[in-house]
Amino acid sequence: MRRTAGGVSWLVAIGLAAVLPAVAASPMPVVSGVPYNADSGSVAVQCGRLIDGVAAQAQGLATVVIRSGRVDSVQPGAVAPTGMTVLDLKLYTCLPGLIDMHTHLTDSGHETSDLSVYYKRTQAEQGAIARDSARATLLAGFTGARDVGTYIAWVDRDLRDAINQGNAVGPRMQIAGYYLTVPAGGGDLVIPGHAESEIPPQVRLGVARGPEQFRQKAEQAVAGGADLLKLIASGAVLAFGGVPGEREMMPEEIKAVVDVAHAHGIKVAAHAHGAQSIKDAILAGADTIEHASLIDDEDIRLAQEHGTALSMDVYNGDWIDTVGREEKWPEEFLRKNVETTEAQRQGFTRAHAAGVDIVYGTDAAVYPHGLNARQFPIMVQRGMTPMEAIQSATSLAARHMGWADRIGSLQPGRFGDLIAVKGDPLEDITRLQDVVVVIKGGLAFKLPAE
């Protein structure tokens, strides 16, 4: 049906005149380039089925009215407010835009076999990669994301701001600016065979030792525009020399970072695989525990008691063990992945059964951006209902990022961030891997082909 512009409008005019005698709603344009006027869209979306992100059940036919970028109302039935563009999704299930609580949008999903690429890149070069990642993430239905660490400092901030200004296409972002990590820790890009003098300063902004240094680095991150702070409490899987089960930061160092963040009203995401580091981070007041691979029953009890959420990336172990092997990622990474993947999935099941909040975090960049929804089926296999898995990526995620009043549900006042899939994701959670409609701030970024 692609014709010249004149031909299309003539055909559309004839077609609409035949069925709509009164005011014809104009068709919804798709944002295809930049710049665009972010969060400015108005549209009435008629949904065959609606999962609003909060309610325990889906609703039948309902209309989500978005005005000037925000949800104005959600009404039963197919409503067509006068003069408004109407989007007919009666054959689809609508949901709030999804949120990935653990991404690295600035990093490519294809470079773990040689991380030294980050030594040579400029911020501008990395920024171009980041834009591709952000677009892929949004078009997969993730309209919100936390970026929990970038090797080249502040590329995440530039991306966030460009998206907010309508100069890039991507999710609403919270950014960390850089990793807070000990020397040669999981966030410090020390690579065997490379002298430390090769590592440019912009890759080591958050490297610190001792509470006072961590406090300073944390303050600098906040001053630079970080929306949250990311610290590396334990060893990492995809970093050289680290042992996931062992401490890297000491409790008083974690506490120093948490105190700075909370004094500024922002949250702390603590990378912690090992049981001791998880404990340290919860007791220091971290808001989310990232990975939590080797979580023990005491950690689970503490997380429950302190209201700490877990962000467990339970899919990517499969990717690392297959594609990572094919791409000849470092043997050490592959081994540590095997040591943590199944343990993490069993911990997920136990933590969920105990009632701990688990938010949707994938560690995308370990695998290509845009495949973020591959984690849903694992979460369901390991104990969540489909609705629980959806809420982990919508209202629950929004609450734990401090944005419950902005995103994560289709309720009046929230941003008009809505996605749609064919079929019923409550019956088949893999439907979320094929998002056919993406609306953000009332603007369409993706619509069905027909």
Residues that bind Zn ion (CB under 5 A): 363
- Residue 421, helix vs strand vs coil: strand
Which is closer to Zn ion, CB of 72 or CB of 363? 363
Which is closer to Zn ion, CB of 74 or CB of 294? 294
Name the closest residue to Zn ion (Cβ). Answer: 363
Tell me the closest approach of the beta carbon of residue 430 to Zn ion, in angstroms. Answer: 24
Residue 299 contacts residue 275 (beta carbons within 8 Å): yes
What crossing angle do the helices spanning 297-306 and 331-353 adopt, rounded to 10°?
Answer: 60
Which is closer to Zn ion, CB of 344 or CB of 409? 344
CA 296 to CA 303: how far, in whole Å? 11
Tell me the closest approach of the beta carbon of residue 426 to Zn ion, in angstroms. Answer: 29
Comparing CA positions, the residue from 208, 399, 240 lying closest to residue 311 is 399
Which is closer to Zn ion, CB of 100 or CB of 363? 363
Q: What is the DSSP letter of 374?
A: G
Tell me the closest approach of the beta carbon of residue 363 to Zn ion, in angstroms. Answer: 4
Burial of residue 307, with CB atoms counted within 10 A of its CB: 0-12 exposed, 13-18 middle, 19 or more buried? exposed
Tell me the closest approach of the beta carbon of residue 313 to Zn ion, in angstroms. Answer: 7
CA 137 to CA 369: how far, in whole Å? 6
Tell me the closest approach of the beta carbon of residue 109 to Zn ion, in angstroms. Answer: 12
Tokens of 184: 């040669």
Tell me the closest approach of the beta carbon of residue 230 to Zn ion, in angstroms. Answer: 8
Which is closer to Zn ion, CB of 38 or CB of 231? 231
Percent helix, strand, coil in the chain, to 5, is 35, 20, 45
Which residue shows structure tokens 């969540």?
384
The count of other CB atoms within 10 Å of the CB of residue 331 is: 9
Cα dihedral 55, 61, 62, 63 sign: positive
Residue type, 146: R
Which is closer to Zn ion, CB of 158 or CB of 363? 363
CA 96 to CA 114: how far, in whole Å? 37
Tell me the closest approach of the beta carbon of residue 148 to Zn ion, in angstroms. Answer: 6
> Phi/psi class of residue 92: alpha, beta or left (left: φ > 0; alpha: ψ in -120 to 50)?
beta
Q: Edge-to-edge strands of the sheet including 172-175? A: 98-103, 142-147, 172-175
Tell me the closest approach of the beta carbon of residue 231 to Zn ion, in angstroms. Answer: 12
Tell me the closest approach of the beta carbon of residue 127 to Zn ion, in angstroms. Answer: 19
- Residue 37, helix vs strand vs coil: coil
Residue 436 contacts residue 92 (beta carbons within 8 Å): yes
Which is closer to Zn ion, CB of 363 or CB of 417? 363
Which is closer to Zn ion, CB of 270 or CB of 390? 270
CA 195 to CA 417: how far, in whole Å? 46
Tell me the closest approach of the beta carbon of residue 324 to Zn ion, in angstroms. Answer: 15
Which is closer to Zn ion, CB of 227 or CB of 363? 363
CA 79 to CA 65: how far, in whole Å? 9
Which is closer to Zn ion, CB of 260 or CB of 364? 364
Residue type, 199: I
- Residue 129, helix vs strand vs coil: helix
Residue 407 contacts residue 97 (beta carbons within 8 Å): yes
Tell me the closest approach of the beta carbon of residue 149 to Zn ion, in angstroms. Answer: 6
Comparing CA positions, the residue from 118, 186, 104, 185 lying closest to residue 149 is 104
Tell me the closest approach of the beta carbon of residue 111 to Zn ion, in angstroms. Answer: 14
Comparing CA positions, the residue from 252, 250, 292 lying closest to residue 270 is 292
Which is closer to Zn ion, CB of 299 or CB of 363? 363
